[in-house]
Amino acid sequence: MESYDYIVVGAGSAGCVVARRLSDDPGVRVLLLEAGPPADDFWVRTPAGMAKMYQSDRYNWRYFTEPVSTLHNRRLYWPRGKGLGGTSAINGMVYTRGNRRDYDHWADLGNPGWGWDDVLSYFKRSENNERGAGPYHGSDGPLGVSDPAVKHPSAFDFLEAARRNGIPRLEDLNNGEPEGCGFFQATIHNGIRQSTYEAFLAPVRHRQNLVVQSGVQVRRVRFRGLEATGVDVVQSGELRSFSATHEVILCAGTLSSPHLLMLSGIGNGEMLQRHGIQTLMHAPGVGKNLQDHFVARVQAKTTPDSSYNRDLLGWRKYWQGICYLATHRGYLAQAASMAGAYVKSGPGIDYADLQISFRPMTFTVSPSGEAAVDNYDAISASVYRVRPASRGEILLRSADPLQPPAFIPNYLSEPEDTQAMLSGIRQLRRILATEPFASRVISEIVPGHGITSDEQLIDFMEREGHCAFHPAGTCKMGKDDMAVVDERLRVRGVDRLRVIDASIMPTVTSCNTNAPTIMIGEKGADMIRADSAAMRSSD
């Protein structure tokens, strides 16, 4: 059995960061295991390639939820990254951190060391921001962060229309107080997608103390008593085991980390026994507390100069391709959203609970799953409640590790989420109907001008709304009976096992979750190294 000091399971947004930081110490050996393939595709590295990744069999697990009773029993599509870089290799690349009070709330819930002032340094440490270093940003980190390659004129008009609706213009949406509107930054560097593999691991793959293996499906964590000792895997059709002398670290993500805990005997004992899994540790919180951002979209036909759809069609798309290959600029170097706003859904809200995202283009997903740019001039904007009250869960479906669990998101199960979304759609419509943007709009396509009443808009959300691909919270950090990990991300009740990914969030951040997950990887790796040093000094 091959032995390493640390085994990291999952080479995604957090796992690549953890493996990189642990391997910075040449005195330890690190094994990083990823079920998916190497992510060395041209379209993975090209930002516009996210459309091709949307339902890619090679790089996407292509999960679906269980039928959602609050959404007319629809089964929603849940993309999840499969390969080196995980979801950071297929996502929309928008770099947002949320509000400082998100993290202060984590600390208030009994997680010391997780307040905004504690985590800011980890955001900064990871960054190589093209704006340079400052109070809120770093310039020496591995992760390239940049402003939009092209700032379209309609985006400027969108922001001005938002300002005229009382939403202040902000130069930096990542300063911890993002109540206002501005341009989004993205995890793109010199026109290349900055997956965590590209940014953190690729530059150090030569290290002798770092072993990265793809195509390895972890079946379960191995234990001796209540002490994690390694993992059992399937590799090239064969069963294998790897040993960890220090720790096993699960970075498999919000959907897979709780699944691995359950397969390893850590979870709700009654559910585990129903599937023939011996209970090692009764932990009822595993898989609970599932949160995600639920999205409603508004689309409108526009004047030709208001959208770049036509630049991605016909002969023009080939010109864009030539420009991208020559300069790594242009529309192929764009993230999913160009600009946006953080607003409150009502006067009684403490801080912004809605995110609005704007893009000067539209696309349609065909029945085959391919995302194709629409052949007319149009823009799209979306809104979601960033701090949803609704909670879902992940349930074990089978003891077979290759069978995914059941995902039950319970979107809009709490009435306050529905009311907040109604406010968000109406605020978004007001922005689009305000000059200087109003002159660009010819007609609303979705939901359509005839959809105006609460009842009509709720029906629209229930029939057409979808997820923002930001699941979190299923191995939450805390001190209560449903907490799965403590504030140092150690799995409660067992030794030498941690979870470090978005699943540990007690509450989902008020933003896209990739940047916070990278921060969690940075901080988690620091904790491991600090705890190891403390243990050595006490020996």
Domain boundary assignment for the chain: 2-538
Question: Measured in Å, how far apart are the chain's first and last C-alpha atoms?
Answer: 27
- Predicted local distance difference test score (pLDDT) of residue 539: 65
Q: Which one-letter amino acid corresponds to residue 475? A: C
What's the DSSP call for residue 86? G
Distance CA 7, CA 19 (A): 9
**Which positions ≥6 away from 459 have C-beta within 8 Å?**
none
- Predicted local distance difference test score (pLDDT) of residue 369: 62
- Predicted local distance difference test score (pLDDT) of residue 218: 98
Q: Which of 137, 246, 328, 470 is catalytic?
A: 470
Which tokens belong to 115? 């307040």
Distance CA 524, CA 249 (A): 10
- Contact between 223 and 442 (Cβ < 8 Å): no
- Contact between 479 and 486 (Cβ < 8 Å): yes
Three-state DSSP class for residue 393? strand
Distance CA 79, CA 69 (A): 20
Q: Tell me which H or E stretch contains 341.
A: strand 339-343
- Whether 470 is a known active-site residue: answer yes
DSSP H stretches of helix in 170-274: 196, 257-263, 269-274
Closest residue by Cα to residue 104 from 520, 507, 501, 498: 507
Which tokens belong to 301? 């036909």
Q: Which one-letter amino acid corresponds to residue 396? A: L
Q: Measured between alpha carbons, how far is residue 277 from residues 18, 128, 224, 412 in Å?
A: 29, 45, 16, 33
The count of other CB atoms within 10 Å of the CB of residue 28 is 18
- Predicted local distance difference test score (pLDDT) of residue 534: 86
- Contact between 510 and 110 (Cβ < 8 Å): no
Which tokens belong to 230? 């390694």
231-259 exposure pattern, b = at least 16 Cβ within 10 A, e = fewer: bbbbeeeeeeebbbebbbbbbbbbbbbbb
- Contact between 138 and 121 (Cβ < 8 Å): no
Whose tokens are 């709304």? That residue is: 465
- Contact between 364 and 372 (Cβ < 8 Å): yes
Closest residue by Cα to residue 361 from 345, 380, 376, 347: 380
Q: How far is CA 364 from the centre of its chain?
A: 22
The count of other CB atoms within 10 Å of the CB of residue 508 is 25
CATH superfamily of 2-538: FAD/NAD(P)-binding domain (3.50.50.60)
- Contact between 266 and 280 (Cβ < 8 Å): yes
- Predicted local distance difference test score (pLDDT) of residue 236: 93
Distance CA 445, CA 427 (A): 17
Burial label for 62, CB within 10 Å (0-12, 13-18, 19+), is middle
pLDDT in tens, the chain (539 residues): 899 999 999 999 999 999 999 999 999 999 999 999 998 899 999 999 999 998 899 999 999 999 999 999 999 999 999 999 999 999 999 999 999 999 999 999 999 999 999 999 999 999 999 999 999 999 999 999 999 999 999 999 999 999 999 999 999 999 999 999 999 999 999 999 999 999 999 999 999 999 999 999 999 999 999 999 999 999 999 999 999 999 999 999 999 999 999 999 999 999 999 999 999 999 999 999 999 999 999 999 999 999 999 999 999 999 999 999 999 999 999 999 999 999 999 999 999 999 999 999 998 876 666 678 999 999 999 999 999 999 999 999 999 999 999 999 999 999 999 999 999 999 999 999 999 999 999 999 999 999 999 999 999 999 999 999 999 999 999 999 999 999 999 999 999 999 999 999 999 999 999 999 999 999 999 999 999 988 877 76
- Predicted local distance difference test score (pLDDT) of residue 366: 67
Distance CA 89, CA 82 (A): 8
Closest residue by Cα to residue 266 from 232, 222, 235, 230: 222
Rg (CA), the chain: 23
Q: Measured between alpha carbons, how far is residue 491 from residues 96, 273, 395, 452, 487 in Å?
A: 28, 20, 19, 48, 10
Whose tokens are 């213009």? That residue is: 169
Distance CA 339, CA 152 (A): 10
Distance CA 304, CA 275 (A): 58
Q: Tell me which H or E stretch contains 320.
A: helix 314-327
Closest residue by Cα to residue 197 from 143, 251, 145, 249: 143
**Which positions ≥6 away from 415 have C-beta within 8 Å?**
none
Distance CA 381, CA 297 (A): 6
